[in-house]
């Protein structure tokens, strides 16, 4: 991976970290979110529901701390996460298949 892509990944990671901090996303959820966005790693049922925009499933799966943050999760995704990684089941599955941002950049063809 070239330096330009590494820099983009670092910027996205910083943006996401700042967004999670500002939204007061529970600390124990942050690593899963980061790993999913950057590497396409699977997440638990609650975050899967969040990333696939399945409100009823998110409410059924969330603990008390996460349930009161539902609006903040949506704002975080809308403002700080790549739009290709969330929204519906197909996008979620494709994101994991591609290996997140890192996988996308590692498989990108260099520009001349």
- Tell me: the pLDDT tens digits for 10-43? 999 999 999 999 999 999 999 999 999 999 999 9
d(CA 30, CA 28): 6
Claim: this prediction has a pTM higher than 0.85 = yes
Domain around 18: 3-106
* Residue 111 placed within a domain: no
* Residue 112 placed within a domain: no
Domain tally, the chain: 1
Confidence class of residue 89 from pLDDT cuts 50, 70 and 90?
Answer: very high
Concatenating the DSSP letter of every residue in 13-63 gives HHHHHHHHHHTT--HHHHHHHHHHHHH-----HHHHHHHTT-HHHHHHH--
Nearest-Å Rg of the Cα atoms of the chain is: 14
Mean pLDDT of the chain: 94
* Residue 93 placed within a domain: yes
């Amino acid at each position: 991976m070239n330096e330009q892509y590494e820099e983009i990944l670092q910027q996205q990671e910083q943006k996401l970290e700042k967004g999670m901090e500002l939204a007061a996303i529970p600390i124990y959820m942050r690593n899963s979110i980061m790993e999913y966005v950057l590497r396409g790693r699977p997440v638990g049922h609650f975050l899967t529901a969040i990333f696939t925009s399945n409100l009823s499933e998110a409410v059924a799966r969330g603990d008390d701390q996460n349930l009161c943050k539902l609006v903040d999760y949506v704002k975080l995704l809308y403002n700080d996460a790549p739009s290709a990684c969330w929204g519906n089941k197909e996008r979620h599955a494709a994101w994991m298949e591609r290996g997140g941002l890192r996988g996308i950049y590692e498989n990108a063809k260099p520009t001349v």
